[in-house]
Amino acid sequence: MANEITDENNQNLSEEETKEINGNEDGEEDESQFDDPEGFVDTISDKDLLGDVLAKRPSPEDGIDSLIVVDNVPVVGQDRLDKLKNVIKKVFSKFGKIVNEFYPEENGKTKGYIFIEYANEKDAAQAVKIANGYKLDKHHIFIVNPFSSFDCMLDLEEDWSPPEKEPYEDKGNLHSWLLDADCNDQYSVIHGGGEKVDIYLNTSTEPVLLKERPGWTETYVTWSPQGTYLATFHKQGIALWGGDEFSRIGKFGHQGVQMIDFSPCERYIVTFSPLPDTPSDPQSIIIWDVRTGAKKRAFQCGNVARWPVFKWSHKGEYFARIRDEAISIYEIPSFGLLDKKSIKVPSISDFAWSPGDNVISYWLPEIKDTPARVTIMAVPGREELRVKNLFNVATCKMYWQNKGDYLCVVVDRYTKSKKALHYNMEIFHLREKQIPVDTLELKEAVSAFAWEPQGDTFAIIHGESPKISASFYRCQKGGHTTLLKTFEKKQVNNIFWAPRGQFCVLAGLRGMNGTMEFYDLNEVALMNVGEHFTATDVEWDPSGRYVSTSVSWWAQKVDNGYNIWSFQGKLLQRHSINQFCQMLWRPRPQTLLSDDQVTKIKSEIKKYQKMFENKDRMSQKKASKELIEKRRSMMREFLEYRDRKKREFQEQEDQRHELRKGFEDLQEEVDDFEEESVEFFIKEEQSIVE
């Protein structure tokens, strides 16, 4: 029977006993028997009894942190809804598993925003971080926010009040150095083993100290491409300085930063730090907005060992890198992939931007029976402008002329036996129809290559010691290149062109004897030869009037300092500085004059020559007068000091006698002083009397 309950000995209970246990006569439980007595107070809470179960109970906030809202989604009807869902899922499934999605509708069409729920909060945060600003097409750029951020909208005040206007902060004239009447350039000097930084104004006689600051940087400094900012390095990040007094313009926090790179337009900077990072939270490479200090995007460094990791287009509209056998090109200001996909180039070795156009060049090595290939491609259309196949290639190096008129590819090739190398240069003439390519055969390896700025000439250093040669070539119309002249038996390994072209310095640096050879390419002739023993660096000033050579303490522990030469090879200044580290000229922005205006000024230079010569002569006389006056002032100060000490000596005569009593054997006082005149040569001037 249903109401029977058996004991441990399987004996049946009576019907009344069963009713007593189960309740009433119908077998129903009597709930009144389980009621607590009146006045009973339960001291055990539900949390004590069921704490582990209650901890897992759902709450109204569950799922909110894993929910995102995507705005600016295309408004479509039912006929295109499935296609839209596929596109959205393709974009947002990259960040994690999507568990739910909702497309609000009105009048048979979507409302332009959607809700997406991820499996966890981490995936949702990643989607907000990366997909915000994603460009679906030119009319639809996603705005992605976490659903939890909408709570703050509920607390908005009904009466809107405009934000308070922040006071204007005058950061000074960031281009003040360009207003110098004599167009003198500035340069920075790091010395004291890196503990001191000085800023100087260069003049024809001696530099003028503008600013000095100990501990200004912890490693080194660098100028922005147009000279507007000076960047210094610190443990916490990068600081930018500028204006008349070099006040701080901005700071960018990147712990342990080691490298920096500016975009050509100076609008963005790229910083690198060897911080550990993950794909979900990259920290190694960060791109910043210089004006606002905002962090625009972060990237992983990957296995790239060269800096800069990103290469910028000539105007800073695009930046690109090689990643996973592809060229990834990103566009400004969205910082997203161009056309949302990389350019797949299997086994790519290197690429470079044209300095004059939105054009890239890249080369691929040989793979089995497929020859090596150099490709020139237009951006953003990805149109291949020219392709050149190369055979038996060991390696290639690409060199763009600074206006983008020419591209030279220096190729090292294997012989048929592959036991030796032979060499040639492939020169692409990009401004001519169908981009003709001129091939030059060489007998020796090229160790250095450099194009003439603003020109069609280039220089190479080829051969091995002691038979090192320097050759100059000129490109001509019709896809032809001619040899201008070869200079043999040289002790040089680097080429440095003046910023305006025409003049060139060939130098033997770092391991060579420090020879400096100055060339004029209008005459293709050697103007002068100088020497800066154990020199490590050479740098032209932006005007092309001066060139500096230096011995850095970072590379060489003795004979540290820098020299300044004229463009003709005349030594003008010699500065020996203990623990000198670095000397950098401050760059200038590009001239606002057109090519025709520059050509006209060059043709009329004789009009200004006499004026410039008179001005130089006056400045030299002024400098001589200032030097003489300075020395006279020092002489007067010395004579006044000597007279004062002589009077003090005479006034103390009685005290000396008193102190010397009993010491007759001491040397007698010497009261006589001898004066000596010193003459030195200051300057010699010659004038012709007609």
**Cα maximum dimension of the chain:** 155
pLDDT (mean) for 33-56: 66
- Is residue 108 in some structural domain? yes
Q: Is the pLDDT of residue 400 over 80?
A: yes
For 363-385, write each residue's pLDDT tens digit: 999 988 889 999 999 999 999 99
168-185: string of b/e by CB count within 10 Å (b at 16+)? Answer: eeeeeebeebeeeeeebb
3-state SS class at 122: helix
Q: Is the pLDDT of residue 493 over 80?
A: yes
Phi, then psi, of 599 in degrees rounded to 5: -60, -40
pLDDT (mean) for 87-94: 90
For 537-584, write each residue's pLDDT tens digit: 999 999 999 999 999 999 999 999 999 999 999 999 999 999 999 999
Lowest mean pLDDT among 21-30, 598-607, 671-680: 21-30
CA distance 232 to 487: 42
Lowest mean pLDDT among 35-44, 269-278, 499-508, 537-546: 35-44
pLDDT at res. 547: 96
Q: Is the pLDDT of residue 34 over 70?
A: no
pLDDT (mean) for 3-27: 46
Would you call 378 exposed, middle or buried from its count of C-beta atoms within 10 A (0-12, 13-18, 19+)? middle
pLDDT at res. 2: 41
Q: Is the pLDDT of residue 304 over 70?
A: no
Q: What is the pTM of this model?
A: 0.75
- Is residue 570 in some structural domain? no
For 653-662, write each residue's pLDDT tens digit: 888 888 877 5
Angle, in degrees to the nearest 10, between helices 605-651 and 595-603? 80
Q: In this predicted model, which residue has the larger pLDDT, 31 or 644?
A: 644
CA distance 359 to 428: 13
pLDDT at res. 8: 41
Q: What is the mean pLDDT of the chain?
A: 86
- Is residue 453 in some structural domain? no
pLDDT at res. 3: 41
Q: Total structural domains in the chain? A: 2
Domain residues for the domain of 605 are 599-629
CATH for 146: 3.30.70.330
For 435-484, write each residue's pLDDT tens digit: 999 999 998 999 999 999 989 999 999 998 888 999 999 999 888 899 99
- Is residue 104 in some structural domain? yes
- Is residue 464 in some structural domain? no
- Is residue 607 in some structural domain? yes
pLDDT at res. 608: 80
Final residue in a domain of this structure, among 135, 151, 167: 151
Q: How does DSSP assign 162-204, residue by residue?
A: PPPPPPP-----TTGGGG-TT---EEEEEETTTTEEEEEE--S
From the CB of residue 642, how many other CB atoms can be counted at a distance below 10 Å? 12
- Is residue 293 in some structural domain? no
For 326-336, write each residue's pLDDT tens digit: 999 999 988 98
Final residue in a domain of this structure, among 132, 151, 170: 151
- Is residue 672 in some structural domain? no
pLDDT (mean) for 183-190: 94
pLDDT at res. 662: 58
Q: Is the pLDDT of residue 245 over 80?
A: yes
Instruction: Using pLDDT thresholds of 50, 70 and 90, give the confidence band for residue 18.
Output: very low
Q: Is the pLDDT of residue 29 over 60?
A: no
Final residue in a domain of this structure, among 119, 151, 183: 151
3-state SS class at 658: helix
